[in-house]
Structure 1
Amino acid sequence: MPRFQTTDPGYKNKHGQIVISRTGFPSESFPGQTIYHLRCGHCGHEYGSAGKDIHLRRCPRHQDGTKGEPLREPAPSLFPSGSV
């Protein structure tokens, strides 16, 4: 699967939207896409976005961007992060 700079945590698009992390959850709007956690660099609003849209995204709160995808908490792990 190809990797794109626009999905790397810390990437900031031309509208000031910053990638925080990959959620691992599938997109509800775009089959085959993963949801990424984004934060507006201007107002701090946090929302989800399919990976294919990150470079174009505008803040849904104040830049008339489309509504973001839901952000969900991952299920708790059965194993501590240091045990493998």
Structure 2
Amino acid sequence: MTNFQSTTPGYRNKHGQIVISRTGFPSESFPGQTIYHLRCSHCHHDYGSAGKDIHLRRCPSHQNGMKGEPLRTAPPNLFSSECV
């Protein structure tokens, strides 16, 4: 998997949108893309975005940006994250 700077957690685009994490869920708008959790640094609005759009995104809440993709909660993990 190729990593791009704009998909790295902590990346902030020129409109103040910050990448929080990779969700692992597929994009509903762009086949082959993954949804990333973004947060507006101005109003703290959380939303999802396909990886290819992150560098251009504007906040859908107050910057007239396009509606974000849905953020979903991952299902519970059957295995503990603890090392045995």
TM-score per shorter chain, which class? over 0.9
State the aligned residue count.
84
Instruction: Name the residue aligned to 2:76.
Output: 76
1:33-61 per-residue CA deviation (whole Å, 9 max, x = no partner) reads 00000000000000000000000000000
- Unaligned 5+ residue runs, structure 2? none
Q: Which runs of 5+ in 1 are unaligned?
A: none
Q: Percent identity?
A: 79
Segments of 4+ moved more than 6 angstroms: none
Cα shift at 1:82: 1.3
- The 5-angstrom pairing of residues 1-84 of structure 1 reads 1-83=1-83
For the residue of structure 2 that corresponds to 1:18, the secondary structure is strand
DSSP-derived class of the 2:74 partner: coil
